Amino acid sequence: MPAGSNMDRREFLAAAGAGSLVFAVGAGGCSRVDDSRPAADTKPTLTITPVAHVRLDDTGSVTVVCHRSEMGQGIRTTMAMVIADELEADWDRVVVDQAPGDEKLYGSQNTDGSTSIRDFLPQYRETGATVRLLLEAAAAQQWNVPIEEVEARMHEVLHRPSGRTLAYGKLVAAAKDLPIPPKDQLKLKDPSRFRYIGKEIPIVDLSPMITGRAVYGQDLRRNGMKIAVIARPPVWGAKIGSVDSAEAESVPGVERVVRLPEAVPPSGYQPLGGVAIVAQNTWAAIQGRRKLKIEWNHGPNGRYDSTTYRSDLERTARKPGKVVREQGNVRSALARSAKRMEAEYYIAHLVHAQMEPPAALAVFDNGRLEAWACTQDPQTARNTIAETLKIPVEQVAVHVSLLGGGFGRKSKPDFIVEAALLAREMGAPVKVVWTREDDIQHGYYHTVAAERLEAGLDENGKVTGWLHRSVLPSIGATFAPNVLAQAEFEAGMGLTDFPYATAAYRAEVGPAPARTRIGWYRSVINIPHGFAIGSFIDELAHAAGQDSKTFLLELLGPDRLIDPAKEGVAGKPWNYGQTFENHPIDVARYRHVVELAAAKAGWGQPLPTGHGRGISVHRSFLSYVAAVVQVAVRPDGGITIPRVDVAVDAGFIAHPERARAQMEGAAIMGLGNALYGEISFKDGRVVQSNYGDYRVMRMNAAPRAIHVHLVPSDKPPGGIGEPGVPPIAPALANAVFAATGRRIRSLPVAGQLAPATA
């Protein structure tokens, strides 16, 4: 989701440390604040805030305070790299601290929507350049020379004519009293002079991670801490009928059984409720929970059944829905076509299933709540805790640990609110631990979807008209009543931003009531929309008797920039928080990644029997990603994946190693989702419970090789964390067809290729 700061350079912020200097970095530049509060440390300090916060002390140590959560994407490293480069800092003297949740100091800290670099790269650069210029000015003043004669180089300032140098630490005291340079005086580096930006830099957390010193949410500890696990309602909106906790209370180590209020749908960020077992250790808490006897009143969602619901979605998709984009007359185009094609696609619920289940530690003392958690969004956690406990938000502090994966799950603070409620109840530190089963059975699920597509082909195999109906329960239904159809931002992930050149195009969305908590998940609604569109293009190519890549490029049409606002979109088209003027849909960029991925994958070269290649492309989060997946299908229906090629145009890429790693992870996640990913419901309950029946891709099933091809670009940065997932599933399904002649229209694939038994 879009993030930013509403501060300008004339606003003042408080900062920790007497004699410190604060810069509010926003669109208008930087402003300074002299802080008069008492200080524990009186060293002169240079501080940049809210988008970036930098401390430079008189030892020369540079501390970058990261305002985004680290969950493997490398933001703690990339943000520091960018600032250090413009600051001309010695990387070995740069350390990274994690910011607590505080919107006034740091702007939005919601690590979601692939925004941390694409929204803030210019501000990070300006932050480093501002501190560099101040240090240069301080040196010029001390030497009594023109500032044009001095230059910051590798953690010191050089006077070029004389060769004299001054270390950064020696300049802090003088620099803090200088006026802040206006933004138009900043001189950003030419890319040819980058030391760190665009280079291969190991992540700053690598050593702690591989030596076991890194602290994740599940690692949090505090003296006197209690452990809590919770028996949550098995159905969204279920209420407790009765509780018998006698056996649970008899378990050694169990201290209290605490009943939590049940959530009433739409429950938003509030916990589901249930019964908490608070114990001296995790084992006792889990054993106590097993001995609880609870009778539940399941309510209307107790009838939720995945098989029945799928049929409902598919029936709805066969009827006209709300038009979200329309160009030309689709009905007429389909009627005139030489060949008419139609297909229906289904995508099951998914759950985040990140390696680290949620965990949060909280302490309530004298009306103040302090929490530590593996959260993607400490500010929303802070606000939700304050609302739930009915205390001022200023009395809530939320600290961020490392995250063992997130994918959107840990931006919802329900698990942190649970810890806050129990800490207040117990009058002691309480850590709420979610087990793997808790995480899979009580999550915020990626939506289930039915997609129906129709198209017409003329005598030459050209598409004359395209109709897409999408039916899925909306994320909005988790947060507001009576939400039945996907919102504009959801339709903007494949429907209203449709890039293909057809004379007639119509996209519709249909109603679908939510029966469980729907949440955002890595790549969000691009997953079902991208799967349907990418698969259908391959079906059309086959019907037209054309090569899939050739047909795809032809369907893209001539190179052009597309603004959906001028292309028949109902309402305001979504563009990931950016304008189409700044980030238009660029067909040339689509074309280039398709051609690059195909060329690198050896498209068109012969393959052994039972092997096939599939291709797909999708734009999401302002980046363009094409994938070619090669599969080998055994006679027993088993699939292996010899190779995946991914071509990425994400504009300017600040940290190529992390970009490649994110695309490799996205390929594995996308393949795992497509092959195995399914959350199903029976009697309102999630059927799956652990990695045994909710499968993720394991090492022995992973592709033998994943090749990521980054497109060099000086265009504004797009997202990296999310755009790699959407084209993977359709490329896989298309590869299966190329290998076997069997179409995959329903995900997951598992079981669909097994040979028929007599």
Comparing C-alpha atoms, which of 722, 716, 721, 724 is closest to residue 120? 716
Q: Which pLDDT does position 37 carry in this prediction? A: 31
524-578 confidence digits (pLDDT tens): 999 999 999 999 999 999 999 999 999 999 999 999 999 998 899 999 999 999 9
Please tell me the distance from the alpha carbon of residue 584 to that of residue 563, in angstroms, as a whole number. 6
Q: Which pLDDT does position 453 carry in this prediction? A: 98
CA dihedral 327, 330, 334, 336 (to 10 degrees): -80
Q: In which residue are the tokens 């990603």 written? A: 625
User: Can you point out the beta strands (E) in 540-638?
Assistant: 561-562, 585-586, 611-620, 623-633
Residue numbers of the chain with a pLDDT score lower than 70: 1-52, 756-758
* Mean pLDDT computed over every residue of the chain: 93
**CB distance 297 to 509 below 8 Å:** no
Q: Which pLDDT does position 417 carry in this prediction? A: 98
> Interior CA angle at 270 toward 266 and 271, to 5°?
110
Q: Which pLDDT does position 46 carry in this prediction? A: 58
409-466 confidence digits (pLDDT tens): 999 999 999 999 999 999 999 999 999 999 999 999 999 999 999 999 999 999 999 9
Comparing C-alpha atoms, which of 474, 443, 450 is closest to residue 347? 450
Give the pairing of strands 746-747 and 339-347.
parallel
110-137: b or e for each residue (b if 16 or more CB lie within 10 Å)? bbbbbbbbbbbbebbbbbbbbbbbbbbb
**CB distance 456 to 464 below 8 Å:** yes
**CB distance 726 to 720 below 8 Å:** no
- Beta-carbon contacts of 228 under 8 Å, excluding residues fewer than 6 positions away, are 258, 276, 277, 278, 279, 285, 418, 419, 422, 430, 431, 432, 433
What is the model's pTM? 0.94
Outline where 273-375 has alpha helix (H).
282-290, 306-317, 330-336
Q: Which two tokens stand for residue 242?
A: 């009765």
H/E/C letters for each residue in 208-263? Answer: HHHHCCCCEHHHCCCCCCEEEEEECCCCCCCEEEEEECHHHHCCCCEEEEEEECCC
Comparing C-alpha atoms, which of 347, 735, 757, 742 is closest to residue 529? 347
Comparing C-alpha atoms, which of 594, 602, 656 is closest to residue 625? 594
Q: How far apart are the first and last CA of the chain?
A: 52
Comparing C-alpha atoms, which of 153, 163, 133 is closest to residue 195? 153
Please tell me the distance from the alpha carbon of residue 558 to that of residue 492, in angstroms, as a whole number. 22
Q: What is the DSSP letter of 94?
A: E
Residue 332 burial (10 A CB sphere; 0-12, 13-18, 19+):
middle
Please tell me the distance from the alpha carbon of residue 425 to that of residue 420, in angstroms, as a whole number. 9
